[in-house]
Amino acid sequence: FIIPNFTSFQRRIGDIFEEVSKVESGQVANYIPQLASVDPDLFAVAVCTVDGQQFSLGDDHESFCVQSTCKPVSYAIALDALGRDAVHRHVGREPSGRGFNELTLNQNDLPHNPMINAGAIMTASLINPGRPLAERFSSVMDVWKRLSGGRRCGFDNAVFLSEKETADRNFALAYFMREHGAFPPGTDLLQTLDFYFQQCSITTDVRQMANLAATYANGGVCPTTSDHVFRAETVKDVLSLMYSCGMYDFSGEYAFSVGIPAKSGVSGALFMVVPGVCGIALYSPKLDVLGNSVRGVEFSRRLVETFAFHTYAGI
């Protein structure tokens, strides 16, 4: 086993979980009613190792919408289908140093990276373009299922409708990118935005999300089903950008002090990938000012105090 004494590992994760559950600060996202009304005290963690050992704690059956944690999945789907060069003709790979929804493009008039809204709208445009939206969406859902150990994810239509209703900024980003000729020719802008909002509205729980994270930790092969979901090259690129850009405008500090590729979403979801070891998923809806789960960040800090999971620990 990659983690030989799993019982002791579980106990130490349990201790961190207990400590972090005392942290009460932060605010739930309030830009849509479906997020504003969630129970702020929900808290769950799940771990899945690259050899398929799993455990979870707290509200581990609670389902939540994935929000920005869909971004490393959309990016991986696009990379796997088109390859690195074709994808990066339309999106950069540099941290933006700005908020996740800022109206800004890089020097080449492209979104800075696939982990911010503009970049994720762009990667949505690259997934099966020209096919009916229903088919594009079901192909994405199929990938989520394969990443989740063969268990289907859900879809929250109320979240989708609200996202669409309150999306002036995302519309602005898309029109801004179109004005600068960033999209592939023939892109249907409104359909692309719907596709992006739909991906944000996919629902899962921490157990499934830990399986997804473990698939990334395992080079694209799901540890519980052995399904080869993504190419190893794809996973390498995704993890590189999660490391540098996955935690909004906290990414540099997180890479420095935690040192684990991770992606957060405004629902309070967070997943971490410890390459070759395990995937960890957390859910706690209260966010800090940058949009990261407060308990998620606190858990991450304590995790690397306890285990040598920082990429550059112990060398």
Rounded alpha-carbon distances, angstroms, from residue 312 to 3, 34, 214, 315: 19, 39, 20, 6
Catalytic residue among 266, 273, 297, 304: 266
Give me the phi and psi of 264, to 5 degrees please. Answer: -110, 165
Given the complex with ligand GLN, which of 272 and 278 has the nearer CB atom? 272
Given the complex with ligand GLN, which of 46 and 66 has the nearer CB atom? 66
**Interaction between residue 124 and ligand GLN (CB under 6 A):** no
Question: Which 46-105 positions form the footprint of ligand GLN (CB under 6 A)?
Answer: 67-68, 100-101
Q: Which residue is nearest to ligand GLN (CB)?
A: 68
Which is it for strands 278-283 and 269-274: parallel, antiparallel or unpaired? antiparallel
Active site residue 68: yes
Residue indicated by tokens 């420095």 = 256
Residue 154 DSSP SS3? strand
Tell which one of 56, 96, 117, 208 touches ligand GLN (CB under 6 A).
Answer: 117
Given the complex with ligand GLN, which of 12 and 169 has the nearer CB atom? 169
**Interaction between residue 254 and ligand GLN (CB under 6 A):** no
Long-range contact set of residues 175-178: C-beta below 8 Å, sequence gap at least 24: 176/103, 176/105, 176/118, 177/105, 177/110, 177/111, 177/118, 177/121, 177/122
Site string for ligand GLN, 283-302 (x = CB under 6 A): --------x-----------
CB of 68 to ligand GLN, least distance (A): 3
Active site residue 254: no
Residue 159 DSSP SS3? helix
Side chain identity at 61, as an amino acid letter? Answer: H
Task: Check if the beta carbon of residue 155 is closer than 8 Å to that of residue 203.
Answer: yes
What gap in Å lies between CA 249 and CA 241, rounded to an integer? 13
Residue indicated by tokens 């207990």 = 18
Active site residue 22: no
Given the complex with ligand GLN, which of 34 and 53 has the nearer CB atom? 34
Active site residue 25: no
Given the complex with ligand GLN, which of 5 and 157 has the nearer CB atom? 157
**Interaction between residue 266 and ligand GLN (CB under 6 A):** yes
CB of 199 to ligand GLN, least distance (A): 9
Task: Check if the beta carbon of residue 269 is closer than 8 Å to that of residue 292.
Answer: no
Active site residue 312: no
Tell which one of 72, 149, 265, 275 touches ligand GLN (CB under 6 A).
Answer: 265
Given the complex with ligand GLN, which of 55 and 248 has the nearer CB atom? 248
Give me the phi and psi of 183, to 5 degrees please. Answer: -80, 155
Q: Which residues of this protein are in contact with ligand GLN, per CB under 6 A?
A: 67-68, 100-101, 117, 163, 170, 200, 265-266, 291
Catalytic annotation, residues: 68, 71, 196, 248, 266
